[in-house]
Amino acid sequence: MEKITKFQKLVYGATKKIPKGRISTYGEIARAIGRPRSARAVGNALNCNPFAPDIPCHRVVRSDGSVGGFAKGNKEKIRILEGEKIRIRKGKIVDFEKKLFAFGLYK
């Protein structure tokens, strides 16, 4: 069974709030859950989609707009993002900043 921690739940909740055609960064999510220093921990928490269609971890990218990593493969992640009308160049999201979803501070 997949027993997850409270942090996982927070990360999943924030990621799940990302609307279609929109993306976010690990740092934004980390900040949204009240752990602005836990960007890599957010990646650690996602690791992959425990609830695949509910947790669009492929919409989560790095602070510099790069796709970062993806358990299924970066190419696959880019492919999904392109399907969201998000353009990627050399592994970096084009206009990612404009598509960045603004999280409200939870705490």
Among 16, 19, 21, 40, interactor with DNA by CB under 7 A:
40
Selected catalytic residue, list 10, 29, 57, 67: 57
Question: Would you tell me how many other CB atoms lie within 10 Å of the CB of residue 10?
Answer: 21
Phi, psi of 24 (to 5 degrees): -150, 170
Q: Does 26 engage in binding with DNA (CB under 7 A)? A: yes
Please provide the distance, in angstroms rounded to a whole number, between the alpha carbons at the two ends of the chain: 30
> Is residue 57 among the annotated active site residues?
yes
Q: Does 52 engage in binding with DNA (CB under 7 A)? A: no
Q: Does 60 engage in binding with DNA (CB under 7 A)? A: yes
Q: Which residues contact 89 (CB under 8 A, 6 or more apart)?
A: none
Q: Does 43 engage in binding with DNA (CB under 7 A)? A: yes
Helix (H, G, I), strand (E, B) or coil at 58: helix
Active-site residue numbers?
57
Give residues in contact with DNA (CB under 7 A). 5, 7-8, 25-27, 35, 37-48, 57, 60, 62-64, 68-71, 89-92
